[in-house]
């Protein structure tokens, strides 16, 4: 474990795999914070590019670099960082995302002002493409006790915009390493079950949305399907206990995700459960549209597979 004479207030955990081309800019956005009482823990998940060289070229005593001998996935990398983190708070930062300079200052001030029952803070997201052009803004205003809302949808969106009390992370068991996709959502569900959530209503994170990024799990349809299946299975009792309006919304979102990923069987299962909740005419039309979409997509995928055979 890394030790210092005075423990930092915040541990910034940056997991990375083959992101040598962007990790220096990511780390610099952390070093540029107006709140300076932090350590940075870079966990290299067995990269085979120049990630290590890029990190070593940044000279700051607050940076600690660790590497896995084999690639073990983002959840394991983040847990590696959590285990050695010395801060009262943990802030995650993905290696292709960037922070605005006052992000930490405002989130830490809010959590300290609100008190220990408020376990985490998240910010709005400015989504950008590979050229740095903004393509989308994500700006929910949900805060306080919001476990049911988190079951419906991962409204916080990503690891890079949250700050969480380390004691709460340990209490909920940190990340579930069996998840490849939806590992953030799984953690957020468990955090919001135990604590209230603060929302910083500012676009404090530039979040890369790239369909061409082969490293990002969230762009892999098979991983997305498996992750959402695991969420439904792991929290089946909680979904069954949701009030009907929440349950209908949740099943509609699952149905849409499965339809977009081309999983006909999962879309049918979610659609049937949604139908059993009692739907409005608008919701019935939406379900019919999604079924048509996934049927076409499934057929196209089968035809593509036959042509390749």
How long is the chain? 309
| Helix 183-194 and helix 221-234, axial crossing angle in degrees, nearest 10 | 30
The span from the CA of 261 to the CA of 243, in Å, is 27
For the cut 60, the answer to whether the pLDDT of residue 195 exceeds it is yes
- Cβ-in-10-Å burial (0-12, 13-18, 19+) of 66 comes to middle
> Which of 178, 9, 19, 42 lies closest to 108, judged by CA?
9
For the cut 50, the answer to whether the pLDDT of residue 1 exceeds it is no
Structure-token pair, residue 69: 């001998």
Residue 279: the pLDDT is 86
Could you report the per-residue pLDDT of 207-232, keeping only the tens digit for each?
Answer: 988 755 555 556 689 999 999 999 99
Domain 10-208 CATH superfamily? Spore Coat Polysaccharide Biosynthesis Protein SpsA; Chain A (3.90.550.10)
Structure-token pair, residue 261: 């990923």
Contact between 151 and 194 (Cβ < 8 Å):
no
Q: Where are the beta strands (DSSP E) in the chain?
A: 10-16, 38-44, 63-67, 89-92, 98-99, 118-128, 134-138, 162-165, 196-208
Could you report the per-residue pLDDT of 43-59, keeping only the tens digit for each?
Answer: 999 999 999 999 999 99
Q: Residue 54 in 3-state DSSP?
A: helix
For the cut 60, the answer to whether the pLDDT of residue 206 exceeds it is yes
Report domain extents, the chain.
Answer: 10-208, 243-308
Displacement of CA 253 from its chain's centroid (Å): 17
């Amino acid at each position: 474990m890394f030790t210092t004479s005075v423990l930092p207030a915040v541990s910034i955990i940056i997991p990375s795999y083959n992101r040598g081309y962007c990790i220096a800019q990511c780390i610099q956005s952390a070093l540029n914070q107006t709140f300076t009482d932090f350590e940075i823990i870079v966990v290299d998940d067995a990269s085979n590019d120049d990630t290590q060289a890029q990190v070593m070229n940044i000279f700051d005593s607050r940076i600690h670099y660790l590497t896995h001998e084999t690639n073990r996935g983002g959840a394991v990398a983040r847990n590696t960082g959590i285990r050695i983190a010395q801060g009262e708070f943990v802030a995650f930062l993905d290696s292709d995302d960037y922070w605005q300079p006052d992000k930490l200052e405002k989130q830490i001030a809010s959590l300290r002002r609100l008190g220990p029952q408020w376990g985490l803070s998240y910010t709005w997201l400015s989504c950008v493409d590979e050229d740095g052009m903004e393509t989308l803004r994500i700006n929910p205003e949900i805060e306080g006790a919001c476990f049911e809302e988190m079951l419906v949808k991962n409204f916080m969106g990503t690891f890079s915009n949250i700050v969480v009390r380390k004691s709460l992370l340990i209490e909920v068991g940190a990340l579930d390493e069996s998840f490849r996709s939806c590992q953030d959502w799984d953690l957020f569900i468990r955090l919001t079950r135990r604590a209230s959530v603060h929302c910083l209503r500012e676009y404090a994170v530039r979040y890369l949305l790239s369909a061409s990024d082969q490293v990002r799990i969230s762009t892999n349809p098979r991983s997305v399907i498996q992750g959402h299946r695991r969420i439904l299975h792991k929290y089946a009792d909680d979904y069954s206990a949701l009030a009907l309006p929440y349950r209908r919304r949740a099943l509609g979102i699952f149905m849409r995700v499965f339809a977009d990923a081309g999983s006909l069987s999962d879309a049918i299962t979610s659609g049937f459960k949604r139908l059993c909740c009692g739907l409005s005419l608008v919701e019935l039309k939406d379900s019919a549209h999604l079924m048509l979409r996934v049927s076409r997509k499934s057929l196209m995928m089968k035809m593509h597979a036959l042509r390749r055979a």
